[in-house]
Amino acid sequence: MTTGSKRRVLIQVAGRVQGVFFRASTRDKAESLGLTGWVRNLPNGDVELLAEGEAGAIARLLAWCHAGPKLARVDTCHITYQTPTGEFDRFTVLRDV
């Protein structure tokens, strides 16, 4: 794997995304795609996640985030690309901020 094929993205998802298993579903999706990073609830009702991995897997996670799990309603996804660091070894659910 070359460094150029790695991507890192910070995503803030707004809508009905808390209390609908968004974090657990995000972890499951990220793990199935071989991504590392974390997901957490924010005090304003949004969900924030940081994911790192292959560019194609990041693209699939982004597409999934626009819909989320069955009970979610995603209104917006704010996406910020960052430089990959390789600091994570798995994808975890963090405690709420």
3-class DSSP assignment, residue 24: helix
Catalytic residue from among 7, 8, 23, 27:
23
- Measured at the CA of 23, the angle between CA 7 and CA 43, to 5 degrees, comes to 100
8 has catalytic annotation: no
Which is the catalytic residue, given 41, 60, 73, 95?
41
CB-hemisphere CA count at 13 Å for 26? Answer: 31
23 is catalytic: yes
Catalytic site residues?
A: 23, 41
